[in-house]
Amino acid sequence: MAAAGVAPVRERFVASKEQFHAYLRANGKPSSRGGGEEEEEEKEKEAGSEQSEPPAKRGRLDAQDQDGERQGEPEDGEKEPEDGEKEPEDGEKEPVERKRARGQNKSRPCMKPNHYEKSRLCPSVTQGCAEKCYFGPQCRFLHDVGEYMAAKPADLGHSCVLFETFGKCSYGVTCRFAKAHLGDGYQNVVNAELAKQWEGKSLVRNNLSKDLQHQLRKKKFTFRRADEYLRSLAKLHGNGGKGGKAPAKHSAEGEVVSDCTTLEDGLGDVLECSVLPEEGGDPKAAPVQCPHPTEGEAGCPTKTAGPVTDEDIVKLRSCEKKKLEIQGKLYLAPLTTCGNLPFRRICKRFGADVTCGEMAVCTNLLQGQSSEWALLKRHHTEDIFGVQLEGAFPDTMTKCAELLNQMIDVDFVDINVGCPIDLVYKKGGGCALMTRSNKFEQIVRGMNSVLDVPLTVKIRTGVQEKMNVAHKIIPKIREWGAAMVTLHGRSREQRYTRVADWDYIAECAKIASPMPLFGNGDILSYEDANQAMQTGVSGIMIARQVTAFLLLSLLVQGSKERNEQKYLNTGLARKSWKPFQLMSSGAVASVMMHVLFVRRGALIKPWLFTEIKEQRHWDISSSERFDILRDFTNYGLEHWGSDTQGVEKTRKFLLEWLSFLCRYIPVGLLEHLPQKINERPPYYIGRDYLETLMASQNVDDWIKISELLLGPVPASFTFLPKHKANSYR
């Protein structure tokens, strides 16, 4: 019988920590040494390596009852005395900061590109234009290919994924798989027939051009719509937009605007008041544009030639905007660090319908930072794709929305009002916006006025635990013009600990109607998805694609018995009869199919989308899981490059993902199904060596897996995962 908070693994697979690591050290072979000798070696290994294990992954289920056993150890959130810091003397009472364990490993080691290669080849040589070096006589890179090849590390393999896929590797001699495509004299070989098939095709969209980056850095980009909205705020408040409420839904003449028209629709450029910087913001971050846009600026953002069309002079009303048609689909939520483009491609392959880029900070985008714009890239296989923005003030968020509306290809834009990390919260963004309703309203209304695509909002239940406020905010968000709300069933204080409150999500779904509300939290199996489905009441359901279209087509006008018989014939009744009863019990016209939001569950098992659609538990083998990792590395080399820097960046994100994948317990090892996301995996020996290796929470074992795919790590390589696993509660 498994202990509370521990996943129930069959007894014959369970092992002690010493047995587990001894099995891995022996490469899956039975050890002939005594158990005591193994335990001593294990203790010596732990004492000699501080970074072998990530921070403790133990749930503190009964920590409050064991204070006496931890007198010499600081509680979570208490600070140990740093170097040079004095201990409090006897009699002095120092206030103790009771902070919860945070979810990031701060001050972790950072490996820069120059740590991987001491002598790097000049990019002009790689691109075949050495005579036109970008850096001129001051170039510090090598220009002699022979000298570079003499110092270059050995190749990592005999086949290059870029050459095999596209017929050409743009990294040439710097590729770590260069043997596959180098000819005599280090000439880069090209497969002309294969390269011609990809000629002119754009595989990745939403790239940052040098011209746009220059405009943003020099503050020469024109934000016509955003400036109109910000001038309207300043005019109506008379205080430069500081504080106060966002404009009510009235026209400039005081007449009430219809339901499909917002205030911004009728303001035009009549208002000429300048906009003062936001309180607490950077005055330079919001330059005031000319209040009277020129004739060339007043039209459509896309420059056209020929007669003026309606699109050039008429602004879309809210009811005319493109609709977000994602009902009944599986939505891969934005995932910081791990939700990169190669990972999203893996999830798309397993059945994710809607994908979203990682959270991007609006101020960094407005400054033209290449690293931030990389988060907006969209692969051509992502047919429904959105981006998520984070910000704290209406001027930067509105301008960023207009920038993206003009420059990138997306199907929706999401505002992150659910981010719990301190760095964002203390600046007024993320969850802090739930307590700053005026700024929140100005941001939503402003972004909605400049976007031609739907605007969605991600929130949590509240800031503090047991003090839910989402039900008060959701009706306001609907009134402000958002097309959809996603509710994570935890507060900021909870972060990812304890279970998500799906009962509260169901209550909020009623309040949100007719605006769609999508639930989020603790989905790790199709049974979790079915249970989430059942939380929908009064015709509002949080559903998934496997039954969405089937049920929607079945529920035609007719008797309940006739619908039940049709449903039984589909073969789905074994697993989802109760959701059908909920749907068929109400009026067909009132049923609204909503999206299932998948987040951490996809990191632990990306094949979750297949399980939900096919309504089954997939006992995936270790070799199949290893093939998934191989596909990820190939996608990573394709996205980040096959040179040394690209290989090590791929390795970094692979290791970050492995820090989540190790939590998965194979279906065949569980005492009963399904595995719960907040249950801590015990030490167990799998059905083969690779399955056991993938279950290790030791950083060294993750590195060993990466070496099976990407070759040996560079000298003095170190790694510590960005996210801690403090959510086993």
- Residues designated as active site: 419
Is the separation of the CB atoms in 533 and 505 below 8 Å?
no
Ramachandran bin of 51, using left for φ above 0, alpha for ψ from -120 to 50, beta for the remaining angles: alpha
**Interhelix angle for 560-569 vs 545-554, to 10°?**
140
Residues with Cβ within 8 Å of 58's Cβ and at least 6 positions away in sequence, in order, are 680, 728
Q: Is the peptide bond before 454 cis (omega within 30 degrees of 0)?
A: no
Which of 185, 207, 195, 215 is CA-nearest to residue 287? Answer: 215
Is the separation of the CB atoms in 629 and 654 below 8 Å?
yes
Beta bridge partner(s), residue 417: 459
Which of 368, 211, 210, 344 is CA-nearest to residue 639? Answer: 344
Beta bridge partner(s), residue 488: 460, 520
Q: Rounded to whole angstroms, how far apart are CA atoms 452 and 411? A: 9
Burial tier of 61 (Cβ tally within 10 Å: 0-12, 13-18, 19+): middle
As given in the structure block, the two tokens for residue 168 are 């050409």
Q: Rounded to whole angstroms, how far apart are CA atoms 641 and 636? A: 7
Q: Rounded to whole angstroms, how far apart are CA atoms 673 and 666? A: 10
Beta bridge partner(s), residue 386: 356, 412
As given in the structure block, the two tokens for residue 631 are 């596909």
Residue owning tokens 């049974």: 527
The CA-atom distances, in angstroms, between 389 and each of 253, 453, 599 are 34, 14, 17
Residue owning tokens 């659910």: 418
